[in-house]
């Protein structure tokens, strides 16, 4: 009985840790999907740490490389002026996924706040 309880506690703690990582991998913006897609594309391409591998505007995703791992950024339109972005590792290995997501979200936030025409 003790082994079963210990096993269940281990599974529960693992699920909680994974849920925290997944919560850091998505963000909702008060912006329409098309302009947010362009801001995300500009933010990723502006950094030397990331290399864009594939872009699909119709489905709203960007596949990019960070180090030796691929990540998938997807946009989902929620309401008229609300869009959700998810950044997940392509191979579902979350060892560094949330750090990459945090960095990309920071780049997107800076891209949105920078007025058009200003040189960075």
C-beta atoms surrounding 8 within 10 Å = 10
pLDDT tens, position by position, 50-84 = 999 999 887 788 999 988 889 999 998 887 788 89
Dihedral sign for Cα 46, 62, 20, 29, please.
Answer: positive
pLDDT tens digits for 97-114? 578 889 999 999 988 886
> What domains lie within the chain, and their CATH numbers?
25-113 (3.30.530.50)
* pTM, full prediction: 0.73
């Amino acid at each position: 009985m003790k082994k079963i309880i210990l096993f269940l506690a281990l599974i529960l703690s693992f699920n909680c840790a994974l849920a925290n990582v997944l919560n850091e991998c998505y963000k909702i913006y008060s912006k329409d999907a098309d302009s947010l897609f362009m801001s995300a594309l500009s933010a990723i391409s502006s950094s030397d740490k990331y290399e864009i591998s594939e872009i699909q505007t119709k489905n709203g995703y960007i596949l990019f490389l960070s180090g030796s791992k691929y990540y998938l950024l997807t946009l989902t339109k929620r309401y008229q002026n609300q869009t959700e972005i998810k950044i997940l590792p392509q191979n579902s290995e979350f060892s560094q996924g949330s750090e990459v997501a945090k960095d990309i979200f920071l780049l997107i936030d800076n891209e949105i706040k920078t007025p058009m025409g200003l040189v960075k």
